[in-house]
Amino acid sequence: MDSWLIHLLRLAVKGALVSSFIFISLNLLSSYLGPLKISINSKNVDQKTLFSVTGEGSVSVKPDIATISMGIVVQNPSVTEGQKKSNEIINRTTNALKTLGVSEKDIKTVSYNIYPNYTYDNGKQSLNGYNINIDLSIKVRDFELLNKVIDTATASGVNQVGGVSFDVEKKEEATNKARAEAVRLAKEKALRLSSLAGLKLGRIVNLSEGQSLERPPFVSMDAKGIGGGGGETQVQPGQTEVKVSVTLDYETL
């Protein structure tokens, strides 16, 4: 018999022996452990067309807190003397505002900077003194005191008033009203548009929200004439608008 045929028969015998061994092993394992379990993972993705609408609700509220930006600028040949003078102004202003009714926790020093002043003569630089710049932030919760706070501060030595900004400290109630209005308008829009388009809507599968707060414009002011010959300060808080937008995603049937 040819050698290649003998080799082929040997391979066949070996394959049969291996198959028999695997078959016997699986039977023995099955009889010992019980039926073998085969796990198959499957995932069904049900894709549906979504119909999205957006509604916006807004509520106008009166601001309940005002923040006044103020500053003190002191020029002095000596750093020590300049700091002494600026500290006197801060203490005098703080005491006057507390007497007026402003809480101490609402009087805050935002920045305290000291800069050297130089003069130049024939290309030579020489020190000419120092600038002490102090920025204050005053929060006013009683708007009847708002104008008096500015006049009192400037009379106490504050020589810069950057402006007044208004905000709503407790706006959750207004936000909830605006949110309810936004959802109502979004649902009405969904019914109206789906009816026009001939669509049948199912359940809401997603909701997203965005909020914004439109404050009254920043009131810029100049310290000149404030609390002095220019008469009393007159600042009005106006209205603040709380806006909420919602997007509803509906299933289409």
Reported as a single tens digit per residue, the pLDDT across 103-118 is 999 999 999 999 998 8
pLDDT of residue 108: 94
CATH number of 65-167: 3.30.70.2970
Q: Which residue has the higher pLDDT, 152 or 121?
A: 152
Q: How buried is 213 (Cβ within 10 angstroms: 0-12 exposed, 13-18 middle, 19+ buried)? A: middle
Q: For domain 47-62+170-253, which architecture applies?
A: 2-Layer Sandwich (3.30)
Q: 3-state SS of the chain?
A: CCHHHHHHHHHHHHHHHHHHHHHHHHHHHHHHHCCCCCCCCCCCCCCCCEEEEEEEEEEEECCCEEEEEEEEEEEECCHHHHHHHHHHHHHHHHHHHHHHCCCHHHEEEEEEEEEEEEEEECCEEEEEEEEEEEEEEEEECCHHHHHHHHHHHHHCCCCEEEEEEEECCCCHHHHHHHHHHHHHHHHHHHHHHHHHHCCCEEEEEEEEEEEEEECCCCEECCCCCCCCCCCCCCCCCCCEEEEEEEEEEEEEC
pTM for the model: 0.58
Q: Judge whether residue 192 has pLDDT over 50.
A: yes
- CA diameter of the chain: 130
Q: Which residue has the higher pLDDT, 219 or 196?
A: 196
Domains 47-62+170-253 and 65-167 share a fold: no
Please state the domain extents for the chain. 1-35, 47-62+170-253, 65-167
Angle of CA points 45, 51, 54, to nearest 5°: 130
Which one of 64-68, 144-148, 184-188, 222-226 scores highest in mean pLDDT? 184-188
Cβ atoms of 139 and 67 within 8 Å: the answer is yes
Q: Which residue has the higher pLDDT, 220 or 127?
A: 127
Q: Judge whether residue 58 has pLDDT over 70.
A: yes
Residue 240 contacts by C-beta under 8 Å, 6 or more apart in sequence? 60, 61, 62, 63, 166, 167, 168, 213, 214, 215, 216
**Across 208-229, average pLDDT:** 58
- C-alpha pair distances (Å), 3 with each of 6, 9, 10, 12: 5, 10, 11, 14
| Interatomic CA distance for residues 248 and 206, integer angstroms | 6
Order across the sheet with 160-167: list the strands. 107-121, 124-140, 65-76, 160-167, 219-220
Residue 82 contacts by C-beta under 8 Å, 6 or more apart in sequence? 74, 75, 76, 114, 129, 130, 131, 132
**Across 210-220, average pLDDT:** 63
